[in-house]
Homo-oligomer: A and B are copies of this chain.
Amino acid sequence: MEDADGSFRMASRKFRREDTVVEIAASYGAAIGGGGFFVIAGPCSVETEAQICAIAREIKALGAQALRGGAFKPRSSPYSFQGLGADGLTMLLKARAASGLPVVSEIMEASQLPLFAEVDVIQVGARNMQNFELLRELGKSGKPVLLKRGLSSTIREWLMSAEHIMAGGNPNVILCERGIRTFETATRSTLDLSAIPVVKELSHLPILADPSHATGCARYVESMALAAAAAGADGLLIEVHNDPGAALCDGPQSITPAGFGRLRAKAEALRAALRDS
């Protein structure tokens, strides 16, 4: 059953004219939206406490404003590494303490919510964008939610999923474009950067881009990150691993901390130039 004709209300620019700014962690003074540029970086999966703490400190020094790390991993195959679960979240919080960076991690279903009490931003993955039970529970939580676009979801369906969260009383939704499924196979998905101006027109919610998952290839990440910044994104989600070749998942799309530092500097220069021109 589908209901294509419905429309979002609270997520609409008509409902709220000015840009929404999502406060991430009061104690850190971090916020997404409202003219700033917020860069979240980190490995696909939390692997060990030493690994995640080391990466956290490195990317903090290079300008990242939040740390991402997966504890629960959605895997197409039941036989693949499924993440460290609650232990992974514990390690992630230790990395927060060690680095001072707020943390972002993906939830898989509503019953896991208590485990995320300390997590600063809860990520909803592309496959769960229309898991309406999960969206409803997140609507009650008040936590900042990073809502990734589904692989075959239109921009309107995506905003409607944001509406599910907002209708429950939680206005803290951050959108994240991560590529759509098309016939092209040179990249894993097709990063739809035109979603950025379209979302900016239709909605007041902040929007990030994730060039790592979209392209699936480290060599294309910097170009697409800069393109997203130029298109008007409010920030980025970048996979960074200290040793991409040995990553337990998604190694081919992870860039190194050094590569991240270059990307970060270029994005800043680009934004400064656009601001001044």
Query: What would 19 A/B residue contacts be, using CB atoms closer than 8 Å?
Result: A2-B216, A3-B77, A3-B249, A76-B157, A78-B132, A78-B167, A108-B133, A109-B134, A128-B131, A154-B184, A154-B185, A181-B183, A183-B183, A186-B198, A191-B194, A226-B230, A227-B228, A269-B274, A269-B276
Q: Which residues of B lie under 8 Å from residue A9 when comparing CB positions?
A: 79
Knowing A1-B74, A111-B111, A193-B191 are in contact, say whether A186-B156 is a contact too (CB < 8 A).
Answer: yes
A160 on the B face (CB < 8 A): yes
What residue in chain B is nearest A132 (Cβ atoms)? B74
The number of times this chain is found in the oligomer is 4
Knowing A132-B108, A224-B231 are in contact, say whether A7-B77 is a contact too (CB < 8 A).
Answer: yes
Q: Which residues of B lie under 8 Å from residue A240 when comparing CB positions?
A: none
Cα A198 to Cα B223 in complex, Å, equals: 10
Contact between B224 and A197 (Cβ–Cβ < 8 Å)? Answer: yes
A152 on the B face (CB < 8 A): yes
Contact between B266 and A2 (Cβ–Cβ < 8 Å)? Answer: no
Known: A2-B188, A108-B132. 5 other contacts (CB 8 A): A1-B45, A3-B77, A76-B160, A197-B224, A269-B277
Contact between B186 and A190 (Cβ–Cβ < 8 Å)? Answer: no
Q: Which residues of B lie under 8 Å from residue A133 when comparing CB positions?
A: 108-109, 111
A65 on the B face (CB < 8 A): no
A151 on the B face (CB < 8 A): yes
A250 on the B face (CB < 8 A): yes
A80 on the B face (CB < 8 A): yes
